[in-house]
Structure 1
Amino acid sequence: MMGRGDGPGAGAAGGPSRHVPVLLEEVCTALDVKRGGTFIDGTFGAGGYTRAILDGHPQNKVVAIDRDPDAIAGGASLAAKFKKRLMLVPGRFGDLDDVAREQGFESVDGVVLDIGVSSMQLDQAERGFSFRNEGPLDMRMEQSGPSAADLVNESSEAELADIFYHYGEERRARAVARAIIEMRRRQPFETTRQLADLVASLIRQEPGGIHPATRVFQGLRIAVNDELGELVRALHAAERILTPGGRLVVVTFHSLEDRIVKQFFAARTGRAATGSRHLPTAAAPEPTFDAVTRGPVGPSEQEMARNPRARSAKLRAGARTSTPPQEPLSAIAMLAELPHTAEKRGGRR
């Protein structure tokens, strides 16, 4: 249940690991990069997918987006090398259709998203994603706005418990939230080690298992960066910007992300259930995507041996039809929200 495939032994929430693009060959095949066209890499990171797309055809262009200033700075040499073929843009992939239009593209031939935190972010103690090496309790991908420390020090016990349980899938979420409230009355949380040590004092580590704080850190990171909300917005943005026949390819690393992608494609390809059998049959909307993959595509044994962080990766892909974009799916959006947030909007989980 870690971001971007970082499991036990792969630096789940902080061990050093070299960034290697996951499912690279499968991504390029699903995108069909050899046909030539304009593509969006919504999660540029270290530029692995972008470089492979550019190498896939001499006429390929890429609009690469990343919300992390360090990733944008690190990609400057690649942008200089490919000049007019690569547009490297700071921003959120939830706005990828607006970003593409600002770059002069009314439609694109492919979109790829690699969801979660990158190994480079984990390796930098000062970014606060990791508990292996002490650093500020930060976790902000954009390096601006409320940090994880702000969330831990200012949220109510109920809010913290919801974050840990629903975003981190931590079974002892309430106990952790209660302990945080008690400790912060004496001293505010400032470092990753403070929080990790508190969680480790409450949750016993199973032999060979993940660090007790892994799920708590995952929940906080998702909440700080609204990662699931961004994913939902990006799926709908891709639907709006893709030309007929254009490909949407999404690589996820844990069940929360994969569930959203799976249900989006099920709804947009016409495979989702369409109501009760006791009610009159309603006309199903025309599909906006055709399935490119039948179920998730995982890494090969060779890739997992070469790159342990690929173990939990799942790739799903669809090809855009000529049906106009539909209204955003409220049921999918609710999967990204905490229960109390959905209730305030009049929804149900």
Structure 2
Amino acid sequence: MTAAPHTPVMLPEVLDALQPAPGKTVIDGTFGAGGYARAFLDAGARVIAFDRDPGARRFAEGLAPDRFRLIEARFSEMADEAGDGAVDGVALDLGVSSMQLDEAERGFSFLRDGPLDMRMGREGPTAADLVNTAAQEELARIFFVYGEERQSRRIAAAIARRRALAPFARTLDLAEVVERALGGRRGAKVHPATRAFQGLRIAVNEELAELEAGLAAAERALKSEGRLCVVTFHSLEDRIVKTFLAVRAGRTPSGSRHAPPKPAQAQPSFRLLWGGARGPSQAELSANPRARSAKLRAAVRTAAPVWRAAA
């Protein structure tokens, strides 16, 4: 049975920036439920999709076999799979997918009861492993750095007290402990567990390190004049993308004339399609509240060599 179609966030804006067309090869680095890939295929492009979640394969049913390939791997491996300078576009839609949020058994949601898992793939420690074994100080760091949670120490202390009595195994159990630690909802628009769950998810899946490696892989995989489009959903992701593109486009500060001269940098490997980030349309915000925090950044690959890691 073919899975139901899925419309991803900011699809018209991504299509306009990426410009998929017949004869072009595009990487969908975050296949998910296949919304971007279907749109790229409808535009006539050849699509190489990546997703480390084996559950994503069911959404590939019915896609053009002569122009579509799904690889069960992290998107940071795209250049190894597709080849250096081999593709015309790369699209990344970051964070947890709607598919994963809506499936309680995946353990991403604080609104649906399920096993406390949160793994995008099937390998490595789960969120339950982290919550039950990490030092209280490490949990506080995860909530503060990855979840941007100001009350991180209070939450970590509450978790440590509870797990001494019984380990955590379910999502709603953890969400309730976080909610009590923060004094309940009291009419708050955002659930009290939102930031803590975000921090755990990012830590479990090593998302920020994967993003940094994925951007470098896209630099390798793109042809000259190939296009990179990245949709982010929180400031940590967006800051990494913004910094990467600014540096690769040669837009880093030149420094003070009183300071020692900076070493010569590599030639810009990207040029920005526009300044800053673009957000979703009002029509999309009205139809899909999940799009409210989305930001799109895009750039075009130049003919300059790939930057070395030291650069």
TM-score (norm 2): 0.94
Selected match of 1:51 from 18, 38, 41 = 38
The Cα of 1:77 is off from its aligned counterpart by 2.7
The Cα of 1:240 is off from its aligned counterpart by 0.8
Tell me how far apart the structure 2 counterparts of residues 312 and 114 of structure 1 sit (CA, whole Å): 13
SS in 2 for 1:88: strand
Structure 1 residues 260 and 152: alpha-carbon distance in aligned structure 2, compared to 1, 3 A threshold: same
- Alpha-carbon RMSD across the aligned residues, in angstroms, is 1.6
Q: Do residues 211 (structure 1) and 191 (structure 2) align?
A: yes
Residues 238-286 of structure 1, C-alpha deviation per residue, up to 9 Å, x if partnerless?
A: 0011110000100001111000000111101011124443224333431
User: 5 Å matches for 1:1-349?
Assistant: 19-34=6-21, 36-57=23-44, 60-78=45-63, 82-101=64-83, 107-204=86-183, 205-282=185-262, 283-328=264-309
Tell me how far apart the structure 1 counterparts of residues 112 and 50 of structure 2 sit (CA, whole Å): 28
Structure 1 residues 106 and 265: alpha-carbon distance in aligned structure 2, compared to 1, 3 A threshold: closer
The Cα of 1:328 is off from its aligned counterpart by 3.0
SS in 1 for 2:70: strand
The residue that corresponds to 1:12 in the other structure is none
Tell me how far apart the structure 1 counterparts of residues 226 and 217 of structure 2 sit (CA, whole Å): 13
Equivalenced residues, count = 305
The Cα of 1:36 is off from its aligned counterpart by 3.7
Gaps of 5+ in 1: 1-17, 331-349
Mapped contact 2:109–2:171 kept (Cα < 8 A)? yes
Tell me how far apart the structure 2 counterparts of residues 206 and 274 of structure 1 sit (CA, whole Å): 48
Give, as a single letter, the amino acid of the residue that structure 2 aligns with 1:41: D
Residues 61-106 of structure 1, C-alpha deviation per residue, up to 9 Å, x if partnerless?
A: 110000111112321332xxx11200111000111111213xxx75
Tell me how far apart the structure 1 counterparts of residues 127 and 254 of structure 2 sit (CA, whole Å): 40
Identity rate, percent: 55
Tell me how far apart the structure 2 counterparts of residues 220 and 134 of structure 1 sit (CA, whole Å): 16
Give, as a single letter, the amino acid of the residue that structure 2 aligns with 1:64: A
Tell me how far apart the structure 1 counterparts of residues 81 and 126 of structure 2 sit (CA, whole Å): 25
Higher deviation after alignment, 89-98 or 29-38? 29-38
Residues 186-240 of structure 1, C-alpha deviation per residue, up to 9 Å, x if partnerless?
A: 1111111111111111113252421111110000000000111111101000001
SS in 2 for 1:53: helix
Higher relative contact order (CA 8 A, sep 6+): 1
Tell me how far apart the structure 2 counterparts of residues 238 and 329 of structure 1 sit (CA, whole Å): 17
Tell me how far apart the structure 1 counterparts of residues 241 and 164 of structure 2 sit (CA, whole Å): 40
Mapped contact 2:115–2:171 kept (Cα < 8 A)? yes
Tell me how far apart the structure 2 counterparts of residues 304 and 329 of structure 1 sit (CA, whole Å): 40
Tell me how far apart the structure 2 counterparts of residues 151 and 182 of structure 1 sit (CA, whole Å): 15
Tell me how far apart the structure 2 counterparts of residues 252 and 224 of structure 1 sit (CA, whole Å): 18
Structure 1 residues 276 and 206: alpha-carbon distance in aligned structure 2, compared to 1, 3 A threshold: farther
Gaps of 5+ in 2: none
Mapped contact 2:22–2:46 kept (Cα < 8 A)? no
Tell me how far apart the structure 2 counterparts of residues 317 and 206 of structure 1 sit (CA, whole Å): 39
Tell me how far apart the structure 1 counterparts of residues 156 and 235 of structure 2 sit (CA, whole Å): 23
The residue that corresponds to 1:11 in the other structure is none
- Structure number having the greater helix percentage: 1
The Cα of 1:329 is off from its aligned counterpart by 6.4
SS in 2 for 1:258: helix
Mapped contact 1:19–1:118 kept (Cα < 8 A)? no
The Cα of 1:26 is off from its aligned counterpart by 0.8
Structure 1 residues 35 and 294: alpha-carbon distance in aligned structure 2, compared to 1, 3 A threshold: farther
Tell me how far apart the structure 2 counterparts of residues 22 and 296 of structure 1 sit (CA, whole Å): 14
Mapped contact 1:247–1:318 kept (Cα < 8 A)? yes
The residue that corresponds to 1:8 in the other structure is none
SS in 1 for 2:26: strand
Higher deviation after alignment, 67-76 or 40-49? 67-76
